[in-house]
Structure 1
Amino acid sequence: MSLFDTIRQKAASVSFLDKLSDNVSPALTRDEKFRKEYHLPEEECIIADINADLSYFSKHNDLNREDSQKKDGLAYVFSGRIFLSPHYLVFRDSFDKTSCVLILNISCIRRVERSSTSAHALSLTITLYSGTRIIVQFIGLRHNSQEFSQALKTQLSSNIPQTKLLMPFLDSCYSEYLISKNIEKRPNVTPPPAGLGQIYKYPGNPNISKERPKLKLWFDYFRENGKNLTLVKNHFFQKLIRVGVPNRLRGEIWELCCGSIYSRFQNPGYYANILEENKGKLSLAIEEIEKDLNRSLPEYSAYHDEEGIKRLRNVLTAYSWKNPEIGYCQAMNILVAALLIFMTEEQAFWCLSCLCDNYIQGYYSKTMYGTLLDQKVFESFVESKMPVLWDHINRNDIQLSIISLPWFLSLFFTAMPLPYAFRIMDIFLVNGPVTLFQVALGVLKVNGEDLLEADDDGMFIAILKSYFQTLEDSAHPDSSDTRYKQINRFQELLVVAFKEFDIITGAMVERERNKHRKDIMHNIESFAKRTQLRNITSVRNLSANDISNLYDAFYQCIETEKGSKDTEKSRMEFAAFCQFLARICDWCKYCESDDMPGFRKQKRQFLKKLFNYWDTSKLGDLSLNDVLAGLDSLLSEDLMVSINNYFALYDVDKKGELQREDILQLSEGLLFLTEAWRNGRYVDKITQSRIEDDIADSLIESGGKVESNLDTIELPSGVEIDEEKYRSEQAERYLKAASSFLQRCFEYARPLDLAGDIDLLDLSDSEEAGSDTKKKQWDSLKANAALDPIHPMVLDLATFRMIILAEETYELFFASTLRESIHVSDLVCTSETHGTALRSMFDGLLADGRRVANQVRRRVDSVATRTSGTSEISGESSHGRDDIDDFLDDQNEEHADLLKSDILGLEIENEGSKSVMRRSIEGSTSTKSFQEKEENLIDFETV
Structure 2
Amino acid sequence: SIDKDLLTKLSKNVAKKQSFLKRDLDARSLSEAYRLMFHLPGTEKLDGSTEATLWTPYNKTHVWGRMFISQNYICFDSRVKGLVTLVVPLRDVSQIERAENQPSNPSVDHSILITTRTAQRATFLFSQIHDRDFVVQKLSDLLARIRIVSREESCYGDEDEWKVQPPMMSMFKPSPSPESKARQEVKAKQWELHFSEYGRGVSMYRTTEIAKLVLQGIPDSLRREVWMNFSGAWNEMASNPGVYRDLVNKNINVPSTASDEIERDLHRSLPEHLAFQSEIGIGALRRVLVAYAARNPQIGYCQAMNIVTSVLLIYCTEEEAFWQLVCVCESLLPDYYNTKVVGALVDQGVLDDLIAEHLPHLHTALQQLGMIKMISLSWFLTIFLSVMPYGSAVNIVDCFFYDGARVIFQVALTILETNQDKLLQCNDDGEAMQQLCDYLSGVFNDEDPHRAIIRDGIPVNKSVSVQSLLYDAYTKYGSLTAGELERLRIKHRLKVVQSLEDGLSRNIMRSIVADGYFKQEELMELLQFVREELLSGQRQQEERYDPSRPPYEAYCVDYELFQALFTGISPWGKGTRPNDLSARLFRLMDRNGDGLLNVREVVTALGLTCTAELTQRLRLLYILHLPPLLPTADVESPTLSEDGAEIATEATDFFEDSLQVNAGSDSSTPVLERSASTSSQQPLGCEESWEVRSMSSLRALMDAPRGKGTPRMSQPHFIALWRSLHDILTAQPEDQQMYHAIASIGTLLLQLGDVGKKFYAARDESNESLVQAAGQWQSPTDTVSDRNGNPGSLADAEWSIALEQFIATTLTGQPIVDFFSQRVDIVEAVSHMRRRRFTTIHTLADLQ
- Scaled by the length of structure 1, the TM-score of the pair is 0.63
Compared CA separation, residues 432 and 795, structure 1 to 2 (3 A): farther
Matched letter for residue 384 of structure 2: F
Matched letter for residue 404 of structure 2: G
Residue 210 of structure 2 is aligned to residue 240 of structure 1 = no
Compared CA separation, residues 194 and 796, structure 1 to 2 (3 A): farther
Compared CA separation, residues 329 and 562, structure 1 to 2 (3 A): farther
Which residue of structure 1 aligns with residue 253 of structure 2? 280
Shift of residue 581 of structure 1? 4.2
Whether the 8 Å contact between 1:749 and 1:794 is mirrored in structure 2 is no
Which residue of structure 2 aligns with residue 451 of structure 1? 423
Whether the 8 Å contact between 1:585 and 1:823 is mirrored in structure 2 is no
Whether the 8 Å contact between 2:293 and 2:300 is mirrored in structure 1 is yes
Which residue of structure 2 aligns with residue 829 of structure 1? 831
Residue 64 of structure 2 is aligned to residue 85 of structure 1 = no
Mapped partners of 2:717, 2:132: distance in 1: 66
Which residue of structure 1 aligns with residue 706 of structure 2? none
Which residue of structure 2 aligns with residue 9 of structure 1? none
Whether the 8 Å contact between 2:111 and 2:127 is mirrored in structure 1 is yes
Could you say what secondary structure the match of 1:52 adopts?
Answer: strand
Compared CA separation, residues 104 and 667, structure 1 to 2 (3 A): farther
Residue 114 of structure 2 is aligned to residue 114 of structure 1 = no
Mapped partners of 1:385, 1:225: distance in 2: 37
Mapped partners of 2:400, 2:271: distance in 1: 23
Among 101, 111, 127, the alignment partner of 1:123 is 111
Which residue of structure 2 aligns with residue 496 of structure 1? 472
Among 603, 606, 613, the alignment partner of 1:628 is 603
Whether the 8 Å contact between 1:586 and 1:821 is mirrored in structure 2 is no
Could you say what secondary structure the match of 2:384 adopts?
Answer: coil
Shift of residue 287 of structure 1? 1.9
Matched letter for residue 146 of structure 1: D
Among 66, 75, 80, the alignment partner of 1:95 is 80
Matched letter for residue 138 of structure 2: A
Compared CA separation, residues 84 and 388, structure 1 to 2 (3 A): closer
Shift of residue 412 of structure 1? 0.9
Whether the 8 Å contact between 1:108 and 1:229 is mirrored in structure 2 is no
1:183-222 superposed matches below 5 A: 194-201=166-173, 207-208=179-180, 210-222=183-195
Mapped partners of 1:832, 1:778: distance in 2: 60
Matched letter for residue 355 of structure 1: V
Whether the 8 Å contact between 2:167 and 2:313 is mirrored in structure 1 is yes
Cα offsets for 1:254-305 (capped at 9, x unmatched):
2222222212111111122223333532222222222222222222222222
Whether the 8 Å contact between 1:303 and 1:309 is mirrored in structure 2 is yes
Whether the 8 Å contact between 2:262 and 2:286 is mirrored in structure 1 is yes
Whether the 8 Å contact between 2:726 and 2:742 is mirrored in structure 1 is no
1:449-528 superposed matches below 5 A: 449-472=421-444, 488-528=464-504
Mapped partners of 1:414, 1:204: distance in 2: 22
Whether the 8 Å contact between 2:391 and 2:445 is mirrored in structure 1 is no
Compared CA separation, residues 389 and 544, structure 1 to 2 (3 A): same
Larger Rg, first or second structure (1 or 2): 1
Could you say what secondary structure the match of 1:136 adopts?
Answer: strand
Compared CA separation, residues 164 and 833, structure 1 to 2 (3 A): closer
Compared CA separation, residues 48 and 438, structure 1 to 2 (3 A): closer
Mapped partners of 2:770, 2:402: distance in 1: 96
Unmatched segments (≥5 aa) in structure 2: 1-24, 157-163, 450-461, 546-553, 637-715, 781-791, 837-848
Residue 344 of structure 2 is aligned to residue 371 of structure 1 = yes
Cα offsets for 1:123-168 (capped at 9, x unmatched):
3333221474424344254xx3112111222222221xx3242688
Compared CA separation, residues 381 and 46, structure 1 to 2 (3 A): closer
Whether the 8 Å contact between 1:474 and 1:487 is mirrored in structure 2 is no
Matched letter for residue 598 of structure 2: S
Which residue of structure 2 aligns with residue 923 of structure 1? none
Could you say what secondary structure the match of 1:416 adopts?
Answer: coil
Among 140, 143, 152, the alignment partner of 1:156 is 143
Unmatched segments (≥5 aa) in structure 1: 1-24, 58-68, 172-191, 478-485, 594-598, 691-725, 763-768, 782-788, 835-943
Which residue of structure 2 aligns with residue 334 of structure 1? 307
Mapped partners of 1:241, 1:293: distance in 2: 30
Could you say what secondary structure the match of 1:79 adopts?
Answer: strand
Matched letter for residue 51 of structure 1: E
Whether the 8 Å contact between 1:50 and 1:138 is mirrored in structure 2 is no
In the alignment of these two chains, the number of paired residues is 684
Which residue of structure 1 aligns with residue 316 of structure 2? 343
Which residue of structure 2 aligns with residue 897 of structure 1? none
1:534-613 superposed matches below 5 A: 534-536=510-512, 538-561=514-537, 570-574=554-558, 575-581=560-566, 584-586=569-571, 588=573, 603=579, 606-613=581-588
Matched letter for residue 86 of structure 1: Q
Cα offsets for 1:732-783 (capped at 9, x unmatched):
7799799x79x969997999xxxx9856999xxxxxx9999479479999xx
Mapped partners of 1:257, 1:266: distance in 2: 16
Whether the 8 Å contact between 2:73 and 2:89 is mirrored in structure 1 is yes
Mapped partners of 2:571, 2:432: distance in 1: 59
Matched letter for residue 154 of structure 1: D
Among 390, 403, 423, the alignment partner of 2:375 is 403
Cα offsets for 1:784-804 (capped at 9, x unmatched):
xxxxx9999689984577567
1:165-184 superposed matches below 5 A: 165=150
Whether the 8 Å contact between 1:805 and 1:811 is mirrored in structure 2 is no
Mapped partners of 2:50, 2:312: distance in 1: 38
Whether the 8 Å contact between 2:304 and 2:381 is mirrored in structure 1 is yes
Which residue of structure 1 aligns with residue 684 of structure 2? none
Cα offsets for 1:110-131 (capped at 9, x unmatched):
2334343269944333322147
Q: Percent identity?
A: 24
Compared CA separation, residues 494 and 629, structure 1 to 2 (3 A): same
Whether the 8 Å contact between 1:660 and 1:792 is mirrored in structure 2 is no
Compared CA separation, residues 825 and 748, structure 1 to 2 (3 A): farther
Mapped partners of 2:473, 2:798: distance in 1: 78
Mapped partners of 1:315, 1:233: distance in 2: 30
Matched letter for residue 208 of structure 1: S
Shift of residue 315 of structure 1? 1.7
More displaced, 239-248 or 825-834? 825-834
Compared CA separation, residues 286 and 382, structure 1 to 2 (3 A): same
Compared CA separation, residues 670 and 440, structure 1 to 2 (3 A): farther
Mapped partners of 1:218, 1:167: distance in 2: 30
Whether the 8 Å contact between 1:758 and 1:777 is mirrored in structure 2 is no
Residue 236 of structure 2 is aligned to residue 263 of structure 1 = yes
Mapped partners of 1:660, 1:89: distance in 2: 64
- Scaled by the length of structure 2, the TM-score of the pair is 0.69
Mapped partners of 2:583, 2:443: distance in 1: 61
Whether the 8 Å contact between 2:65 and 2:78 is mirrored in structure 1 is yes
Could you say what secondary structure the match of 1:560 adopts?
Answer: coil
Whether the 8 Å contact between 2:513 and 2:520 is mirrored in structure 1 is no
Shift of residue 502 of structure 1? 2.3
Matched letter for residue 378 of structure 2: P
Whether the 8 Å contact between 2:77 and 2:84 is mirrored in structure 1 is yes
Residue 128 of structure 2 is aligned to residue 139 of structure 1 = yes
Which residue of structure 2 aligns with residue 358 of structure 1? 331
Could you say what secondary structure the match of 1:78 adopts?
Answer: strand
Whether the 8 Å contact between 1:257 and 1:430 is mirrored in structure 2 is yes
Which residue of structure 1 aligns with residue 55 of structure 2? 55
Residue 385 of structure 2 is aligned to residue 413 of structure 1 = yes
Whether the 8 Å contact between 1:78 and 1:93 is mirrored in structure 2 is yes
Matched letter for residue 511 of structure 1: R
Matched letter for residue 90 of structure 1: C
**What is the CA RMSD across the aligned residues, in angstroms?**
4.7
Among 379, 385, 398, the alignment partner of 1:426 is 398
Compared CA separation, residues 99 and 747, structure 1 to 2 (3 A): farther
Which residue of structure 2 aligns with residue 290 of structure 1? 263
Mapped partners of 2:317, 2:799: distance in 1: 62
